[in-house]
Amino acid sequence: MSASKKSAIAGLALMAALLGTAALAEKGGMGGMGGMGDGEGRGAMMMEMFDAMDADKDGKLSLAEMEAHRAAEFAAADTNGDGALSADELSARSLARFQEKQAERTQHMLDNMDNDGNGSLSEDELGEGPGQRHFARLDTDNDGAISKEEIEAGMKHRKKRGHGWGMGDN
Protein backbone atom coordinates (compact mmCIF):
# COMPACT_ATOMS: atom_id res chain seq x y z
CA MET A 1 0.00 0.00 0.00
CA SER A 2 1.39 3.42 -0.92
CA ALA A 3 2.31 6.02 1.70
CA SER A 4 -0.39 8.39 0.42
CA LYS A 5 -3.07 5.68 0.77
CA LYS A 6 -1.84 4.89 4.28
CA SER A 7 -1.95 8.59 5.15
CA ALA A 8 -5.47 8.92 3.75
CA ILE A 9 -6.64 5.86 5.69
CA ALA A 10 -5.02 7.15 8.86
CA GLY A 11 -6.67 10.53 8.36
CA LEU A 12 -10.06 8.92 7.89
CA ALA A 13 -9.48 6.77 10.95
CA LEU A 14 -8.62 9.88 12.96
CA MET A 15 -11.76 11.69 11.83
CA ALA A 16 -13.88 8.61 12.58
CA ALA A 17 -12.32 8.36 16.03
CA LEU A 18 -12.91 12.04 16.71
CA LEU A 19 -16.51 11.88 15.55
CA GLY A 20 -17.09 8.67 17.48
CA THR A 21 -15.60 10.21 20.61
CA ALA A 22 -17.76 13.28 20.22
CA ALA A 23 -20.82 11.07 19.91
CA LEU A 24 -19.82 9.14 23.03
CA ALA A 25 -19.19 12.34 24.90
CA GLU A 26 -22.58 13.60 23.86
CA LYS A 27 -24.31 10.48 25.18
CA GLY A 28 -22.20 10.25 28.33
CA GLY A 29 -22.46 12.20 31.54
CA MET A 30 -25.39 12.49 33.94
CA GLY A 31 -28.64 11.18 32.45
CA GLY A 32 -30.82 13.77 30.79
CA MET A 33 -28.25 16.58 30.83
CA GLY A 34 -27.50 18.76 27.86
CA GLY A 35 -30.00 17.52 25.27
CA MET A 36 -28.49 14.06 25.02
CA GLY A 37 -30.12 11.60 22.69
CA ASP A 38 -32.51 14.16 21.25
CA GLY A 39 -30.47 15.60 18.38
CA GLU A 40 -29.94 18.90 20.20
CA GLY A 41 -26.50 17.82 21.44
CA ARG A 42 -25.44 16.64 17.99
CA GLY A 43 -26.39 19.97 16.46
CA ALA A 44 -24.36 21.85 19.05
CA MET A 45 -21.44 19.49 18.49
CA MET A 46 -21.55 20.10 14.74
CA MET A 47 -21.62 23.87 15.27
CA GLU A 48 -18.63 23.66 17.63
CA MET A 49 -16.77 21.62 15.02
CA PHE A 50 -17.69 24.18 12.35
CA ASP A 51 -16.47 27.05 14.55
CA ALA A 52 -13.20 25.24 15.24
CA MET A 53 -12.56 24.76 11.52
CA ASP A 54 -13.60 28.30 10.47
CA ALA A 55 -10.13 29.78 10.94
CA ASP A 56 -10.93 33.24 9.54
CA LYS A 57 -14.30 33.34 11.38
CA ASP A 58 -16.21 34.45 8.27
CA GLY A 59 -19.02 31.95 8.88
CA LYS A 60 -17.94 29.81 5.92
CA LEU A 61 -15.67 26.79 5.55
CA SER A 62 -13.27 26.70 2.68
CA LEU A 63 -11.61 23.52 1.51
CA ALA A 64 -8.31 25.00 2.70
CA GLU A 65 -9.72 25.53 6.22
CA MET A 66 -11.01 21.97 6.34
CA GLU A 67 -7.68 20.59 5.14
CA ALA A 68 -5.74 22.75 7.63
CA HIS A 69 -7.96 21.57 10.48
CA ARG A 70 -7.53 17.94 9.45
CA ALA A 71 -3.74 18.38 9.25
CA ALA A 72 -3.66 20.05 12.68
CA GLU A 73 -5.76 17.26 14.21
CA PHE A 74 -3.50 14.66 12.61
CA ALA A 75 -0.37 16.41 13.89
CA ALA A 76 -1.84 16.66 17.39
CA ALA A 77 -2.60 12.94 17.39
CA ASP A 78 0.77 11.93 15.89
CA THR A 79 2.64 12.34 19.16
CA ASN A 80 5.78 10.53 17.99
CA GLY A 81 5.91 12.50 14.73
CA ASP A 82 6.31 9.47 12.47
CA GLY A 83 3.56 10.51 10.06
CA ALA A 84 1.32 7.60 11.02
CA LEU A 85 -1.25 7.09 13.74
CA SER A 86 -0.94 4.01 15.87
CA ALA A 87 -3.83 2.55 17.82
CA ASP A 88 -2.31 4.04 20.98
CA GLU A 89 -2.12 7.51 19.44
CA LEU A 90 -5.70 7.32 18.17
CA SER A 91 -6.91 6.13 21.57
CA ALA A 92 -4.97 8.83 23.41
CA ARG A 93 -6.34 11.59 21.17
CA SER A 94 -9.88 10.26 21.49
CA LEU A 95 -9.55 10.08 25.27
CA ALA A 96 -8.14 13.62 25.45
CA ARG A 97 -11.05 14.98 23.38
CA PHE A 98 -13.55 13.11 25.55
CA GLN A 99 -11.95 14.47 28.71
CA GLU A 100 -12.03 18.04 27.34
CA LYS A 101 -15.73 17.73 26.51
CA GLN A 102 -16.51 16.11 29.84
CA ALA A 103 -14.72 18.92 31.69
CA GLU A 104 -16.87 21.45 29.79
CA ARG A 105 -20.05 19.54 30.67
CA THR A 106 -19.04 19.29 34.30
CA GLN A 107 -18.40 23.01 34.50
CA HIS A 108 -21.73 23.68 32.77
CA MET A 109 -23.51 21.50 35.34
CA LEU A 110 -21.83 23.35 38.20
CA ASP A 111 -22.60 26.74 36.68
CA ASN A 112 -26.27 25.85 36.29
CA MET A 113 -26.97 23.69 39.32
CA ASP A 114 -24.63 24.75 42.16
CA ASN A 115 -27.20 26.89 43.97
CA ASP A 116 -25.09 27.53 47.06
CA GLY A 117 -21.94 28.36 45.06
CA ASN A 118 -19.67 25.95 46.95
CA GLY A 119 -18.20 24.38 43.80
CA SER A 120 -19.89 21.00 44.25
CA LEU A 121 -23.35 19.51 43.82
CA SER A 122 -25.33 18.08 46.68
CA GLU A 123 -27.94 15.40 46.13
CA ASP A 124 -30.64 18.06 46.44
CA GLU A 125 -28.94 20.27 43.82
CA LEU A 126 -28.72 17.34 41.40
CA GLY A 127 -32.48 16.86 41.64
CA GLU A 128 -34.36 13.98 40.11
CA GLY A 129 -32.83 11.86 37.41
CA PRO A 130 -34.69 10.93 34.24
CA GLY A 131 -35.86 7.65 35.80
CA GLN A 132 -37.65 9.46 38.60
CA ARG A 133 -39.06 12.14 36.28
CA HIS A 134 -40.54 9.57 33.89
CA PHE A 135 -41.41 6.79 36.34
CA ALA A 136 -45.19 7.29 36.30
CA ARG A 137 -45.28 7.40 32.50
CA LEU A 138 -43.19 4.23 32.18
CA ASP A 139 -45.15 2.30 34.83
CA THR A 140 -48.04 1.70 32.44
CA ASP A 141 -49.73 -0.95 34.60
CA ASN A 142 -49.48 1.29 37.71
CA ASP A 143 -48.08 -1.48 39.90
CA GLY A 144 -45.39 0.75 41.42
CA ALA A 145 -42.56 -0.90 39.47
CA ILE A 146 -41.20 -0.73 35.93
CA SER A 147 -40.83 -4.07 34.16
CA LYS A 148 -38.40 -4.82 31.37
CA GLU A 149 -41.39 -5.07 29.02
CA GLU A 150 -42.53 -1.56 30.01
CA ILE A 151 -39.05 -0.21 29.27
CA GLU A 152 -39.01 -1.97 25.88
CA ALA A 153 -42.47 -0.58 25.06
CA GLY A 154 -41.30 2.91 26.02
CA MET A 155 -38.23 2.56 23.80
CA LYS A 156 -40.36 1.44 20.85
CA HIS A 157 -42.76 4.34 21.38
CA ARG A 158 -39.92 6.89 21.47
CA LYS A 159 -38.24 5.35 18.44
CA LYS A 160 -41.50 5.53 16.45
CA ARG A 161 -41.69 9.21 17.33
CA GLY A 162 -38.09 9.67 16.15
CA HIS A 163 -36.58 10.35 19.56
CA GLY A 164 -34.59 7.27 20.58
CA TRP A 165 -33.06 6.95 24.02
CA GLY A 166 -29.40 7.62 23.30
CA MET A 167 -28.73 3.88 23.32
CA GLY A 168 -27.56 3.45 19.75
CA ASP A 169 -31.03 3.35 18.28
CA ASN A 170 -31.27 6.81 16.73
pLDDT band at 7 (very low <50, low <70, confident <90, very high): low
Cβ atoms of residues 82 and 10 within 8 Å: no
CA–CA distance, 160 with 157 (Å, rounded to integer):
5
**Which tens digits make up the pLDDT trace of 47-83?**
988 999 999 999 999 999 999 999 999 999 999 999 9
Percent of the chain with pLDDT over 70: 71
CA–CA distance, 22 with 56 (Å, rounded to integer):
24
Type of residue numbered 97: R
Cα–chain center distance at 15: 14
pLDDT band at 36 (very low <50, low <70, confident <90, very high): very low
3-17, 99-113, 127-141, 154-168: least confidently modelled range: 3-17
- What does the angle CA 93 – CA 15 – CA 34 come to, to the nearest 5 degrees? 75
CA–CA distance, 64 with 17 (Å, rounded to integer):
22
Q: What is the pTM of this model?
A: 0.51
Cα–chain center distance at 37: 10
